[in-house]
Chain A
Amino acid sequence: MHPLNRRGFLGLTAGLSIAALTGCGTASGPASTASTPRDGGRLRAAFAGGGAKEVLDPHLANLFVEAARSKALYDKLADLGPDVSAQPRLAEKWEPDATLTHWRITLRQAAFHNGQPVRADDVLASYARILDPGRAFRAKSSLALIDLPNSRAVDDRTVEFALKRPFVEFPNALAAFGAYIVPAGTEDFTKPVGSGPFSFVSFEPGKSVLLKRYAEYWEGAPHLDELEFVIANEESARANALLGGQVEYAHDLTPTTARSHAASDRMAIHRAPNSAVQAFAMKLDRPPFDNSDLREALFLLADRPQLVESVLAGSGQVGNDLFGKGYQHYADDIPQRTRDLDKAKFLIRRAGAEGLTVKLDTSTAAAGMVEAATVFADQVKGSGLTIEVVTGNKDSYWADTLKNGSLSSFRSGAMPIETHIAQRLLTGSGTNVTKWARPEFDALYDKAVSTVDAAERGAVYREMQRSLHTEGGYLMWGFADWIVGAAPRVGGISTAPANTLDWARFDKVWLG
């Protein structure tokens, strides 16, 4: 349930369009005048947004701009670090019992913007709100394993959560998208009160939100005096506003814009690698990809560097058919797959699939998908297999490809590898698009999430990834960079993947 909804993802999507780009450094452009942190000033940040969906209720957050604002106003118990592993935030520490079904969480000494301390009751009330059966908050499925009636506040700063099953990765749930802590009983978010680094000043829906420094923030006051989020849906408008000095931060630019302004003295480009994976999904429960030879043939037919160069305009890295490059528990010891036409031909012959035409379902639901499908269809030519690209309706794309067809375009934003597996690769997963359903794999997952020792657990995740790499249905060919533009005098912009704690995090940013 991580952030990448369609509109918000116009974001990443836009980032994945055309044009060729040179290096993939993390920050390019002119020498920054922003090397030493300085306090003060107002930073204006331009994001895409939708007037209708813009709300200040952090549990309803959906778009990137909403996620960034929620992060400025509120805290979660945990959040995702640069390696997409859960890091303690409002929770100072967490301690499971031996059965991994009871977790004792100690809260930090923190206070809401109205001066009231953040208490265990606020945490329980926030989670109860998210888990309300009559509502559909985004974090609900992540927190669903909490047995709320049996969870309790031990004292003001200690919560004891009872879980419905043993789960060592519970901190991942605490870091779930939208799992923010609000003061107990809050239902009116017109003047939001949180415990985050900025407090609320004013809101004009569809236009701007003004926040100011919260001096008592538990992690130290932000550098900026004020932070203003403004909405500009068009990427060109965000870039123009930055060039014209109307904003100091433009979220989500295309590789084309990044390239044209790489040497500009008015715009510094910041790239966050491994922010989104680009893939094709083969369904294992039906012909033709129930045949593992044919799946391997497809793996070997993909010319990944060419896909990254053409589809991601060079703003990305090749993938090795595994989710989460650079993330915690990623199996980087598995050798990188490269194109091998001869072996692919042999496998196609062995599968008896010579002359077969396979439909590849794609759509513009995420940018780059149609382009990738077209390039891949071209790469498959001459192998004995033919791929016919079918561009479907973008509005019903995800639901269609979850059920129908045998091969489809796929993309996903960052989330812990455990979450990716739980949501997509278990027999009962809700979005199991590859129909990977193996009891022994499910058992390994159960083993992993009940193994306390981190190294042992890591070994189980690696074993799971090895079987996915050889047998799985995801052809994950690339990881796209996330591109942000800023005025050269802005310092402290992180290059952690989109959706993690440090992405769009303005309490660490300053105006030089």
Chain B
Amino acid sequence: MSLRRYAARRLAIGAVQVLAVVTVVFLLVQALPGDAAVALAGDNPDPRRIEEIRTAMGLDRPPLDRFGGWLWGLVHGDFGVSLISGRPVVEFLHDGLGPTLVLALLALVLLIPLSVLLGVLAALREGGVLDRIVTTVTVGLHSIPEFALAVVLIALFGVQLQWLPPTAVGADLLAEPAVLVLPLVVLVARPLCSISRLVRAGMIDALASDYVRHARRLGIGVNRVRFAHALPTALAPAVQQVARTTDWLLGGVIVVEAVFVIPGLGTTLVDAVAGRDLPVVQGLAVVFAVTTVVVNLVADLVVFRLAPRSVAIA
């Protein structure tokens, strides 16, 4: 099968997966106790008012009818409107996607070169001082959950020393890059470990492999062997991990968004679920599902280019 046909088939399967995800999300939100009317009515609500809100929102229509209508709109590129504010869901997705993309892209720009560099350096002197330091630091960072690291960094650099803004509240992320420093450190800390460890392991394997030794025997320069022959093979497993990390970042890392007040997709999701704002939740489910499918497809294609033997395309 050609690469193109493979990609097309994966995309078709992806479309089915997206449909399955939104159906399951719809059913799950239906199964949650309370609906948008109950969430909106608040403490000690008068049951009559809940009924009024329900009618005004169209929640008295049968669930299947509502889901069908939403799906029909989606096919036509219409994500619908928020039950609660009446704003188009597309606006929510657009507003949340900006901060999430900025954070995800910057995190990847830092993460990929840094983890490859650390992994390769550690592998070249396996068991050496540098290897031990890199291993200790990255494993240490990996064992701290995001929220704990965030809280400590804010307390120290944001509140005590006042070197950096403790939150991004009300800030324009690109105009005030200082607010991004702490969230980026938190986002990069854990994946840095997993990816650099994979690069290191891959590199050690590759350097010990027959083809690298053969290349050396043919008289190819040591650096050329390391970086043109060994490294691409060594990166293949790390690419899958980068894909998972990318997917995680693009989903809006809820804890980081909440602690640093970054109104990205994660925050949008939490608000929408709390308000039982089903059209917004479903819109986000579509975005997250499409992201996952596309990111994994791209990762597979990249791996295929790097190390054709390692992916069985059949």
Contacts and interface: CB of A to CB of B under 8 A. Distances in A.
A136 B162 CA distance: 47
A411 interface: yes
Contacts of B277: 52
Contacts of B170: 44, 207-208, 228, 230, 246-247
Tell me which of B48, B85, B87, B162 has the highest count of chain A C-beta atoms within 10 A of its own C-beta. B85
Contacts of A253: none
A230 B47 contact: no
B202 interface: no
Nearest to B37: A136
A241 B158 CA distance: 9
B38 interface: yes
Nearest to B51: A136
B65 interface: no
B41 A53 contact: no
B21 interface: no
Interface string B24-53: 000000001110001111111111111011
Contacts of A207: 95, 170, 263
Nearest to B155: A240
Contact count band on B: 35 or more
Given A234-B259, A241-B261, A244-B162, A5 B87 contact: no
Contact of A412 (B40, B44, B260): B44
Interface in A18-50: 44, 46, 50
Contacts of B96: 51, 206
A66 to B, nearest CB: 11
Given A52-B280, A366-B43, A7 B275 contact: yes
A365 interface: yes
Given A52-B82, A136-B49, A237 B260 contact: yes
Nearest to B255: A234
A206 B268 contact: yes
Tell me which of A9, A44, A244, A430 has the highest count of chain B C-beta atoms within 10 A of its own C-beta. A244
B159 interface: yes
Interface in B255-271: 258-261, 263, 267-268, 270-271
Given A5-B41, A241-B169, A395-B38, A136 B46 contact: no
Interface stretch (A111-119, A331-339, A396-404): A396-404
B80 interface: no
A134 B56 CA distance: 6
Dominant secondary structure of chain A at its interface with chain B: loop
Contacts of B261: 230-234, 237, 241
A134 B261 CA distance: 37
Nearest to A138: B49
Given A51-B263, A231-B261, A396 B38 contact: yes
A78 interface: no
Nearest to A6: B42
A373 interface: no
Nearest to A46: B169
Given A206-B263, A430-B48, A5 B275 contact: no
B222 interface: no
A205 B92 CA distance: 9
Contacts of A433: 44
A310 B126 CA distance: 57
A5 B43 contact: yes
B45 A240 contact: no
B272 interface: yes
A224 B5 CA distance: 64
B275 A52 contact: yes
A273 to B, nearest CB: 20
A238 B261 CA distance: 9
A160 B193 CA distance: 72
Contacts of B275: 7, 50, 52-53
Interface residues of A, number: 61
Contacts of A50: 271, 274-275
A221 B159 CA distance: 35
B46 A241 contact: no
Contacts of B159: 240, 243-244
A109 interface: no
A134 B58 CA distance: 11
A470 interface: no
B154 interface: yes
B45 A52 contact: no
A134 B60 CA distance: 14
Contact of A62 (B42, B151, B268): B42
A399 B43 contact: no
A320 B39 CA distance: 31
B166 interface: yes
A10 to B, nearest CB: 9
Given A44-B170, A228-B170, A247-B169, A4 B43 contact: yes
B167 interface: yes
Contacts of A423: 44, 46
B84 A233 contact: no
Nearest to B277: A52
Interface in A129-151: 134-136, 140-141
A413 B43 contact: yes
Contact of B34 (A134, A205, A241, A395): A395
Given A50-B275, A240-B154, 16 more contacts: A6-B39, A8-B42, A52-B275, A53-B275, A205-B95, A230-B261, A232-B167, A237-B261, A240-B167, A241-B261, A246-B170, A393-B33, A412-B44, A413-B43, A424-B44, A430-B48
9 tightest Cβ-Cβ pairs between the two chains A and B: A5-B42, A430-B46, A395-B34, A230-B170, A244-B166, A136-B52, A240-B166, A136-B53, A50-B271
Interface of A: 1, 3-9, 44, 46, 50-55, 60, 62, 134-136, 140-141, 204-208, 228, 230-234, 236-238, 240-241, 243-247, 365-366, 393, 395-396, 398-399, 402, 410-413, 423-424, 430-431, 433
23 contacts: A3-B42, A4-B43, A5-B40, A51-B95, A51-B96, A51-B272, A52-B268, A52-B271, A53-B40, A55-B87, A62-B40, A136-B49, A136-B55, A140-B49, A232-B169, A232-B261, A237-B258, A237-B260, A243-B159, A245-B162, A246-B166, A395-B32, A412-B44
